[in-house]
Structure 1
């Protein structure tokens, strides 16, 4: 895969540059160490001391999203009992770096990688309460703060299905025959082409790299809110299929509330679509651990 991939950085931020930007704008942090934690599609993440995490956009498309986080995330405080990223430091570009950046309290926990089904099931109610409250946030307030409606056209299943056919063809050499057949068979049997649009406030990018779990494997925090938008709840409900094992899904919906069949179909599709994208980037990064976890997410989502 070449540089046309949408996760390739337009700006690389080194630890040295991150330290220079942070210390020049926030003198109280000047003596703290700066350590790169990793990167996603849109941001590079650094641990500052042991108390803070800073996110720096890697691509121009991420700038407006980061500014949006700064405005809207503080408004959510009363909605959740679960920890989430609330920005404390608002930085601006300097030293040749063109983008704003944000700093947040460090949230303890690990990514939910390699958990057992039993561990995952413990979070069914926690996730349901979190998403029920998130989706109840007033859309009017979100709109007043500039939150946009779904820019990815998620309800068009036919378009997403077409993309997925290409993706699995591109990564076929990283799939076993059984894995390739399972994905192809799922897409072949998917008859729904479009679902009715709905409008709720969304995290917008909920998956295992944006979730944290405690030492017992229970979900303890939600991070990376760069894709906040107003759209179909299935976008976030994908975790019912990618994260939770099949026998825990009824517990989730018992707490969240039941949803129609179209929503479940779209949620399952996204639960497969997102891990495929994560796997594609992980293949580029030679990160076998993430490749394996993405495959496990897909396998769970395909299981009824």
Structure 2
């Protein structure tokens, strides 16, 4: 049981046994492990489904949020997202949650590439315009991912201080300047909107050189859209951020500044995960280092201008 609890004992046989116990009509479909994942492990089930199994994540709230909210949000979104179709309850054999969801076709961006930058910028903007609408009063509250940059400075300092000098290079002062500008930006004053909360290259999929889907909504919450707008630098290729913000059409200057700082934070996280992977540390992702380096380069050179006014941004949310 200890191996299962820490995620190392989740096997195809275990997943198939869980299906036989709770959803026998699905148990004989072809089953294969999907590479990647940390908090949750994903197994593809047949052609159209996937099984999302808690691994290192010990908090059931993430899967419970996906079960509750994704069926409501998915019809309103212009890209495919995983929709829960069956619920797996904790059992004596496996004491955590698991959920059968729809499969989102495509290759994760951390193993793929965006070659159609303008199309991807427009696609991401349309997706976030659709997602970033005022959330209901009972939407999940922000647990820290959507905090103003000024409340994330400890994390920024930790990431920056943990990177080897040759990884961050001579850019440390420039990165600090971007962060300081974000910290000084006014806070979000609009209504809390739906926010994905964790847009990075492993949580989007690509096909035909452009964005094709968004996955892993475990951190979904209501808050500041700047958290997701950081994806303009983290996901899109060079030169695409300006087109993205033009297409998005509702980010004022302060929101762009916060988003750029949060993109720097996410870039440092990717670099650190890459460094940890190179050292063979648990949870490290060697392939993420180059992704973080390229994202940070974009953060340092791209500052979209001009953004819309605060009044124009507010007008979008009132419609």
- Report if TM-score (shorter chain) is over 0.5: yes
Aligned 8 A contact 1:139 1:200 in 2: yes
Q: How big is each residue's C-alpha offset from its partner over 1:18-38, in whole Å with a ceiling of 9 and x where there is no partner?
A: 222123222122223433223
- Specify which of 206, 210, 226 is matched with residue 199 of structure 2: 206
1:231 equivalenced with 2:223 (yes/no): yes
1:296 equivalenced with 2:289 (yes/no): no
Aligned 8 A contact 1:111 1:212 in 2: yes
SS in 1 for 2:50: strand
Q: Provide structure 1 residue ranges, at least 5 long, that are not aligned to the other structure.
A: 1-8
Structure 1 residues 295, 250: closer, same or farther in 2, change over 3 A? closer
Displacement of 1:157 in angstroms is 1.9
TM-score (norm 1): 0.84
Structure 1 residues 60, 84: closer, same or farther in 2, change over 3 A? closer
Displacement of 1:67 in angstroms is 0.7
Q: How big is each residue's C-alpha offset from its partner over 1:80-122, in whole Å with a ceiling of 9 and x where there is no partner?
A: 2211111112111224422221111222111224636x52332
1:45 equivalenced with 2:42 (yes/no): yes
- Report which stretch shifted further, 225-234 or 236-245: 236-245
Partner of 2:59: 62
Displacement of 1:295 in angstroms is 1.9
Structure 1 residues 193, 162: closer, same or farther in 2, change over 3 A? farther
Aligned 8 A contact 1:172 1:180 in 2: no
1:272 equivalenced with 2:264 (yes/no): yes
* 1:79-228 matched pairs, under 5 angstroms: 79-113=76-110, 115=113, 119-136=116-133, 138-140=134-136, 143-144=137-138, 147-152=139-144, 154-172=146-164, 175-180=167-172, 182-187=174-179, 192=184, 195-198=187-190, 199-215=192-208, 217-228=209-220
Aligned 8 A contact 1:121 1:245 in 2: no
Partner of 1:5: none
Give the number of aligned pairs.
Answer: 289
1:23 equivalenced with 2:7 (yes/no): no
- Report which stretch shifted further, 230-239 or 291-300: 291-300
Aligned 8 A contact 2:58 2:96 in 1: no
CA distance in 1, matches of 2:128, 2:182: 26
Aligned 8 A contact 2:142 2:221 in 1: yes
TM-score (norm 2): 0.80
Displacement of 1:259 in angstroms is 1.6
Displacement of 1:237 in angstroms is 0.8
CA distance in 2, matches of 1:49, 1:184: 47
- Report which stretch shifted further, 20-29 or 245-254: 245-254
Q: Provide structure 2 residue ranges, at least 5 long, that are not aligned to the other structure.
A: 279-284, 303-319
CA distance in 1, matches of 2:143, 2:196: 13
CA distance in 1, matches of 2:33, 2:113: 25
SS in 1 for 2:122: helix
Aligned CA RMSD, in angstroms, stands at: 2.6
SS in 2 for 1:175: helix
CA distance in 2, matches of 1:283, 1:96: 36
1:76 equivalenced with 2:68 (yes/no): no
Structure 1 residues 190, 204: closer, same or farther in 2, change over 3 A? closer
Structure 1 residues 60, 192: closer, same or farther in 2, change over 3 A? same
